[in-house]
């Protein structure tokens, strides 16, 4: 089963570690450091264009930014019986 996170990207549900809502933690220093580190390691996949990301999906090897809210993504996962 896969979770569609927008921009034609789907991630296997079993690989998802966490979904973080950026609207609540975006300004937090640890979050900024995490995203900067992922970007420097080229492990950050961001949406094309100038749309502001609303969530960050963390997997074992990549970080994905999505313009879909964390609540919506969690609801989609729950449809498959997965609580994130």
> Largest Cα–Cα distance in the chain?
34
For residues 37-56, one letter each, b for 16 or more C-beta atoms within 10 angstroms of the residue's C-beta and e for the rest, the string is ebeeeeebbbbeeeeebbbb
Q: Residue 37 pLDDT > 70, yes or no?
A: yes
Predicted confidence (pLDDT) per residue in 46-69, tens digit: 988 778 899 999 999 999 999 999
d(CA 41, CA 25): 21
How many Cα neighbours within 13 Å face the side chain of 78?
9
Query: Pick the residue with more confidence: 44 or 25?
Result: 44
- Is the alpha carbon torsion for 82, 58, 4, 20 positive or negative? positive
Q: What is the pLDDT of residue 29?
A: 85
């Amino acid at each position: 089963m896969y979770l569609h996170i927008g921009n034609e990207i789907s991630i296997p549900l079993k690989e998802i570690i966490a979904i973080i809502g950026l609207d609540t933690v975006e300004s937090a220093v640890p979050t900024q450091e995490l995203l900067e580190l992922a970007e420097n390691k080229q492990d950050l996949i961001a949406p094309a264009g100038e749309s502001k990301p609303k969530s960050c999906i963390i997997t074992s090897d990549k970080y994905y930014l999505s313009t879909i809210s964390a609540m919506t993504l969690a609801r989609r996962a729950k449809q498959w019986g997965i609580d994130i």
